[in-house]
Amino acid sequence: MALDLLCERGFVGYITPSSWFRSDAGSLLRKTLLAKHRVWKVIDFGKHQVFPDVTTYTSITVIQKRGVAKSIPAEIWDGERLLEVGQVVLDRSNPSAKWWVAKNQLVADRMKDLMKRETMLGDIADIHVGIQTLADSVFIVPMDKADELSWEHWILKDIVKASVMKDGKDPVKRVVIFPYDDSGALLPEDTIAKNAPRVYQWLLTHKERLLNRDKSKIATAKWYAFGRNVSILSGFGEKILTSGMNKKPNFQRCMNSKATFYSGYCIKPKSHISIDALLPLLNSSDMDFFIQHTSRPYQGGWMSYAKSFIENYPVQ
């Protein structure tokens, strides 16, 4: 609307969250600005929190209504001083580029070398998010607690928490109530009630909470199912796990192939590459550099390792 109101050579500036520079959700906006307008200047406040008592990652973008630039001046601040001045190279041959990143010449050169690689992680591996129960304390418990409650083991599966793994293992042995059959279909409620009465009673005790998940959008007939119908089966098997947020690359081979997982992502190499061959590539300084300059930053030096970022890593 602001661009429509401007005269032909007019400018508009906005202060916004910076996430649209890199997110899939911002791709259409980036494409439109590249194709029709001129992004004149970007100021990225990086990890610095501009507004008191509000956690948000902020940027200022100044846009001219007409004219197209191949690159734009970009500045990165820590709130008091200028940290970096560079250019955001906007590739008009690929206007739906995955990210806009401020780069000084050294960063730009290294990124250019990385992007000469033709194979992305998403090309050679399947990447899945962990199961999402939306009520972890109901479905996921330490094995000791499950034994204390005398839960029926046939409905339980081993599960690891990717965000706390060390040396490929979860420090706590956990199990998850898994109300699905081998094909991933939800078990009938009466099957659980008949063959796993103690587990069923536990779920009944928490039925109101389970129905209130996802802003009460859970179907009444599926009140005992996971909150999201994702990764029901894909979490099992040989896999590499990582947390959704890390300070450095932290990809680990899961030592329990019979376990599913939550709180992170799994990488399953396709047939022509092995886990042993892929792991050092994922934990490399190149991956660290790539994430530092293309992913979403958080306070304390944490970076997002979500699928939308790691799948674009140029492996080879």
Residue ranges of the chain that CATH labels 3.40.50.150: 2-103
Nearest to 72 by CA among 39, 103, 95, 106: 39
Query: Per-residue pLDDT averaged across 37-52, rounded?
Result: 80
Residue 92 predicted with pLDDT over 50 = no
**Structure-derived torsion over alpha carbons of residues 162, 163, 166, 171, reported in degrees to the nearest 10:** -80
Please give the mean pLDDT across all residues of the chain: 87
pLDDT tens-digit series, residues 135-192: 999 999 999 999 999 999 999 999 999 999 999 999 999 999 999 999 999 999 999 9
pLDDT tens-digit series, residues 245-272: 999 999 999 999 999 999 999 999 998 8
Q: How far apart are CA 274 and CA 293, in angstroms?
A: 27
DSSP 88-127: EE--TTSTT-S----B-HHHHHHHHHHTT---BHHHHEEE
SS3 148: helix
pLDDT tens-digit series, residues 1-37: 898 899 988 999 999 988 888 777 888 888 788 778 8
Residue 108 predicted with pLDDT over 90 = no
Question: Interhelix angle for 285-294 vs 275-282, to 10°?
Answer: 60
Residue 99 predicted with pLDDT over 70 = no
Could you please state the CATH topology (level 3) that the domain comprising 2-103 is classified under: Rossmann fold (3.40.50)
What pLDDT, on a 0 to 100 scale, did the predictor assign at position 133? 97
Q: State pTM to two decimals.
A: 0.80
pLDDT tens-digit series, residues 52-91: 888 888 888 888 887 655 556 666 665 555 555 555 544 4
- Confirm if 278 and 267 have CB atoms less than 8 A apart: yes
